[in-house]
Amino acid sequence: MVYGLVRRFFCHARKRAVKNPLFIVTHNPQTLQGMSENPLRRRGSEMIEHILHTPSNTPVVRLKMEGLEHIQVLAKLEYMNPTGSVKDRAASFLIEKLLRQREINQDTVLIESTSGNFGIALSAYCRYYGLKFHCVIDSNISSENEMLIRMMDPTVHKVTERDATGGYLLNRIKKVCELKESIPNSYWVNQYQNPYNAEAYYQTLGNEICDTVDSVDYVFLGVSSGGTITGVSQKVKERFPNAKIVAVDIVGSVIFGGQPRKRFIPGIGSSMIPNILSSAKIDEVVMIDEWTTIAMCHELYLKHSLFAGGSSGSVYAAIKQYFTDNKSIRSANAVFILADRGERYMNTIYNHNWVRNFEENHLEQEIKA
């Protein structure tokens, strides 16, 4: 079944490309038809001075999911932020607050470890504000993300040696610490611990979710560095105390006590437990494997015309699993975010050869396990 979805994706994509080689993937406006209440609030067109001024008010789309007709599943399209991911919110908020409070100045060198999206966002906003940026990435970064980061011309440090957990994060952090020691007037953004990271999502994304949906019953969020779920959970619980926050993690991540394992899809999971999560208000955790993540990314595109990145597939899978397992829930509003764009995974999740190789490796791991 899973491989069938993947094959259908590639067949569908080829047909679309033949009809129009430059087709653009968009969400289907018919998705909103038949809703008793429309959660979207229309805004008139407005003039803006710069695209980076607009990391806010991303659209919300209702998904009609087979077998979950009693659940109103609402997807917030965070990939429509200026640089293509939810991380724009943290990058813009952090830099503006640090400058406003004079914790950094124009000569400060920012340093951060990233698997891709935060590096893209920080590169763009540092360039906009005229700040120097040292970006620490690793070999697991997608070629698309690395290209986008390097185009903004920060100083890039690429970690190629895996750490004891089989990932790269611990060695990236080690490199960040070395840079912090050697570069005068430097500031480590530290998305895993910086309270401004969570505050960014509390003030922006959390507020938008609460203002858009009349009653929030469930929020499903993928977890990696922890800032998004920490800030959003605090705001949602403040406005809707009975809402449940469901964290979604990937098999091979250690965040919620799992065994470390080599992972291939960036943007979800971690090789360490982020300190910032100590302030998160999480009710339940759903674990999803990477093969299911790939299949659900393809399903999001095929069934809903939503072309999203890896973590979106994980969270979508978690929603299906959660409400299938909890049949006693007769109605609910469930919100999740599509954190980044599918184009950044064209050489991995949406690449036929990569998926085939991943399937073979996945089967080998299952046999060894």
Q: For 125-136, write each residue's pLDDT tens digit.
A: 999 999 999 999
pLDDT tens for each residue of 279-289: 999 999 999 99
Q: State the chain's mean pLDDT as an integer.
A: 89
- CATH hierarchy code of domain 87-191: 3.40.50.1100
The more confidently predicted of residues 86 and 362 is 86
Helices (H), 64-194: 87-100, 117-129, 143-151, 169-182
Q: What is the topology classification, in CATH, of domain 2-31+49-80+203-368?
A: Rossmann fold (3.40.50)
**Identical fold at 2-31+49-80+203-368 and 87-191?**
yes
Q: What are phi and psi of 187, to 5 degrees?
A: -135, 120
| Cβ partners under 8 Å of residue 225, min gap 6 | 118, 191, 192, 197, 270, 274, 276
- pLDDT given at position 301: 97
Within 10 A of 101 (CB to CB), how many other CB atoms are there?
9
| Separation CA 329–CA 322 (nearest Å) | 10
| Separation CA 134–CA 146 (nearest Å) | 13
Q: Is the pLDDT of residue 2 over 80?
A: no
Both tokens assigned to 103: 């914790």
Name which of 101, 9, 60 is nearest 211 in CA terms: 60
- The domain ranges of the chain are 2-31+49-80+203-368, 87-191
DSSP letters spanning 275-314: GGGGG----EEEEE-HHHHHHHHHHHHHHH---B-HHHHH
- pLDDT given at position 1: 55
Which helix (H) or strand (E) segment holds residue 362: the answer is: helix 352-368
The residues that bridge with 246 in the sheet, in sequence order, are 220, 284
Phi-psi region of 364 (alpha: psi -120 to 50; beta: other; left: phi over 0): alpha
- pLDDT given at position 8: 62
Q: How many CA atoms lie within 13 A of 88 on its CB side?
A: 24
The more confidently predicted of residues 47 and 84 is 84
| Separation CA 55–CA 204 (nearest Å) | 9
| Separation CA 130–CA 156 (nearest Å) | 17
| Separation CA 116–CA 111 (nearest Å) | 14
- pLDDT given at position 165: 84
State the average pLDDT over residues 30-57: 62
pLDDT tens for each residue of 155-173: 999 999 999 888 899 999 9
pTM above 0.75, yes or no: yes
**Contact predicate 339/145, CB 8 Å:** no
| Separation CA 252–CA 310 (nearest Å) | 15
- pLDDT given at position 40: 41
Q: Is the pLDDT of residue 71 over 70?
A: yes
Phi-psi region of 252 (alpha: psi -120 to 50; beta: other; left: phi over 0): left
Within 10 A of 26 (CB to CB), how many other CB atoms are there?
9
| Separation CA 61–CA 58 (nearest Å) | 10
**Contact predicate 336/60, CB 8 Å:** no
Name which of 118, 149, 316 is nearest 226 in CA terms: 118
| Separation CA 132–CA 153 (nearest Å) | 9
pLDDT tens for each residue of 22-33: 322 333 444 334
Residues 189, 195, 200, 203, Cα dihedral to 10°: -170
| Separation CA 18–CA 160 (nearest Å) | 39
Both tokens assigned to 270: 């971690």
Which helix (H) or strand (E) segment holds residue 237: the answer is: helix 227-239
pLDDT tens for each residue of 9-19: 656 555 544 34
Both tokens assigned to 122: 């920080």
| Separation CA 154–CA 133 (nearest Å) | 5
Both tokens assigned to 89: 């919110």
Confidence of residue 115 (pLDDT cuts 50, 70, 90): confident
Q: Is the pLDDT of residue 215 over 50?
A: yes
CA 94 vs. chain centroid, Å, equals 18
Which helix (H) or strand (E) segment holds residue 15: the answer is: helix 2-19
